[in-house]
């Protein structure tokens, strides 16, 4: 009896469980199976394996109780549970809530899922609006409270500087606009303790006034626009672009006659390599340019051997045999001749005469401040080759002025006493007499003379006698840069000496075509 009752009880229990399972299968809707799984109603749904890629935060005890209550209600009544977005659970660690937020905000307020649809198994949740709050990663700067005006142009910048420290009456700095306008009213400027260096023109002009800065009123120099001319402060160009600039440039770049006379006197005083004390001049009789009669049977010059030992003259002598006199014969500069040119340039660039000249030209904006570029300037001016006819590269400023050329059967150039004395000693030059001469005290002579070279007559010629090569190059360069093609009135030993220079333009470059003294 007991075994029958037990078997009946077990069979009844099995049938009851089967009925319950069938009832559950009938009551569950496959369209919302994923949602019931998210609410806790199904523990073994196959889609649960996919959600493992999105781990969720451990819910609080309050949330678990509410989830269980909701789960029970949903199973009994058949209502659709409100799912939580799986992606929301995944990104929540990037936006943790503070303790204050946990106290004041419930989980239902933090997450607002979209209503479930029964058209498919997939539900697209709506992300929380707080997900867009990424501003803490990019903090914004607090705008300055003292100036709420928008900026963006130069006028606003000027106004900003004008109003800066407006309430500080003790020591207000000059405003940006007042600096532009050159005004110093209402400003206090600390005077500079560095004295202003006197300019070259004020020194040579004999000014004795001390140039010291005014402690209360700053001096604002006007800005001169660069119009393509040589102005102070700009980097001057090499002689390839030098043109006749005697009437160009601002007042500070134009060398006045008084400045030229002052610097020429200074250059003569600084001529330490002067050889006049070693030269004897035999003028003999005066002649004219129209007669070929020899009024001077004896040589013009007698030079002591000490003159050839002067440093710059030593470097000058090897250059005299480097040239073809005929302008229709090309010049080929050998490496040895280039070495001799460089040695001569190095020798004269270290003299006080050339350095004094370059300082003056630099102040006038005619040469660069770099000594190496000044050397390049001078070398191109004198040793650059050009053609005097028929495309023959056969001439240079140095060859024409300091040596001699033969052009169209006539003697051209030859304005140097060293070369003249060497040619005279070799019986290649015959001095016929003088036309005029001017003594430069113990520094030498300027002479106008008549001679012939190798049977070719030159009725009028002029040259310095006894002066150093660097002094002659300095005087000719000074006049070429400041008075090219015009009279260059100088003072030498208180004597008036005029120098005339000519430009020779070849292939867009400017060279010295000729330079000689006039008396």
Give strand pairing partners of 510. 505
Looking at residue 119, the DSSP 8-state letter turns out to be: S
Looking at residue 223, the DSSP 8-state letter turns out to be: P
495-517 CB burial, b ≥16 within 10 A, e <16: eebebbbebbeeeebbbbbbbbb
Would you say 299 and 282 are in contact if contact means Cβ atoms under 8 Å apart?
yes
Closest CA to 400 of 415, 419, 389, 390: 415
Closest CA to 250 of 234, 263, 239: 234
The sign one gets for the Cα dihedral 49, 51, 54, 60 is: negative
- Active-site residue, selected from the candidate residues 270, 315, 362, 415: 415
Would you say 467 and 451 are in contact if contact means Cβ atoms under 8 Å apart?
no
Would you say 392 and 327 are in contact if contact means Cβ atoms under 8 Å apart?
yes
**Collapsed DSSP state (helix, strand, coil) of residue 89:** helix
Closest CA to 124 of 74, 148, 88, 151: 88
Question: How far, in whole angstroms, is CA 132 from its chain's centroid?
Answer: 49
- Backbone phi, then psi, for 286, in 5-degree steps? -80, 145
Closest CA to 363 of 265, 254, 269: 254
Q: How far apart are alpha carbons 331 and 397 in whole angstroms? A: 13
Is 278 a known active-site residue?
A: no
**Collapsed DSSP state (helix, strand, coil) of residue 276:** helix
Q: How far apart are alpha carbons 512 and 472 in whole angstroms? A: 13
Is 436 a known active-site residue?
A: no
Q: Which residues contact 363 (CB under 8 A, 6 or more apart)?
A: 199, 200, 201, 232
Looking at residue 219, the DSSP 8-state letter turns out to be: -
Question: How far, in whole angstroms, is CA 228 from its chain's centroid?
Answer: 17
CA contacts within 13 A on the Cβ side of 430: 13
**Collapsed DSSP state (helix, strand, coil) of residue 190:** coil
Is 390 a known active-site residue?
A: no
Looking at residue 307, the DSSP 8-state letter turns out to be: G
- Active-site residue, selected from the candidate residues 37, 379, 400, 422: 400
Integer CA distances (angstroms), 41 to 465, 477, 509, in order: 124, 107, 99
Our separate counts of H helices and E strands in the chain read: 18, 12
List the structure tokens of 289: 């340019």
Active site residues: 400, 415, 458
């Amino acid at each position: 009896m007991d075994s029958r009752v037990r078997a009946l009880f077990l069979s009844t229990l099995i049938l009851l469980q089967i009925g319950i399972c069938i009832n559950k299968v009938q009551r569950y809707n496959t369209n919302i199976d994923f949602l019931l799984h998210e609410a806790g109603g199904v523990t073994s749904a196959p889609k649960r394996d996919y959600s493992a890629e999105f781990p969720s935060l451990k819910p609080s005890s309050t949330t678990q109780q509410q989830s269980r209550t909701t789960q029970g209600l949903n199973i009994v009544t058949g209502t659709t549970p409100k799912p939580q977005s799986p992606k929301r659970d995944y990104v929540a660690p990037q936006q943790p809530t503070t303790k204050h937020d946990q106290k004041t905000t419930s989980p239902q307020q933090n997450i607002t899922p979209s209503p479930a649809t029964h058209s498919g198994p997939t539900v697209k949740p709506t992300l929380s609006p707080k997900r867009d709050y990424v501003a803490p990663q990019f903090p914004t700067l607090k705008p300055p409270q003292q100036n709420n005006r928008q900026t963006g142009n130069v006028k606003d910048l000027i106004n900003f500087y004008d109003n800066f420290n407006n309430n500080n009456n003790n020591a207000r700095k000059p405003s940006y606009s007042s600096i532009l306008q050159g005004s110093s009213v209402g400003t206090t400027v600390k005077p500079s303790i560095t004295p202003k260096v006197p300019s070259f023109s004020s020194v040579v002009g004999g000014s004795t006034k001390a140039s010291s800065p005014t402690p209360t009123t700053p001096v604002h120099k006007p800005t001169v626009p660069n119009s393509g001319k040589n102005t102070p402060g700009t980097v001057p160009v090499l002689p390839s672009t030098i043109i006749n600039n005697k009437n160009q440039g601002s007042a500070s770049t134009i060398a006045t006659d008084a400045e030229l006379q002052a610097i020429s006197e200074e250059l003569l005083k600084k001529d330490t390599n002067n050889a006049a004390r070693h030269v004897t001049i035999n003028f003999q009789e005066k002649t004219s340019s129209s007669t070929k009669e020899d009024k001077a049977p004896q040589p013009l010059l007698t030079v002591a051997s000490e003159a050839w030992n002067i440093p710059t003259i030593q470097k000058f002598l090897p250059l005299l045999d480097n040239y073809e006199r005929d302008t229709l014969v090309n010049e080929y500069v050998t490496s040895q001749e280039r070495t001799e040119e460089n040695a001569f340039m190095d020798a004269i660039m270290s003299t006080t005469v050339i350095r004094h000249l370059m300082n003056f030209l630099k102040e006038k904006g005619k040469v660069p401040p770099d000594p190496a570029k000044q050397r390049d300037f001078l070398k191109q001016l004198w040793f650059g080759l050009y053609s005097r006819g028929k495309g023959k590269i056969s001439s240079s400023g140095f060859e024409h002025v300091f040596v001699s050329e033969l052009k169209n059967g006539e003697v051209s150039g030859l304005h140097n006493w060293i070369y003249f004395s060497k040619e005279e000693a070799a019986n290649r030059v015959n001095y016929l007499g003088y036309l005029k001469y001017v003594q430069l005290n113990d520094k030498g002579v300027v002479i106008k003379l008549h001679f012939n070279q190798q049977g070719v007559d030159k009725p009028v010629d002029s040259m310095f006698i006894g002066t150093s090569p660097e002094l002659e190059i300095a005087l000719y360069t000074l006049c070429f840069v400041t008075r090219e093609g015009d009279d260059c009135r100088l003072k030498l030993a208180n004597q008036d000496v005029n120098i005339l220079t000519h430009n020779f333009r070849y292939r867009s470059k400017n060279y010295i075509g000729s330079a000689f003294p006039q008396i």
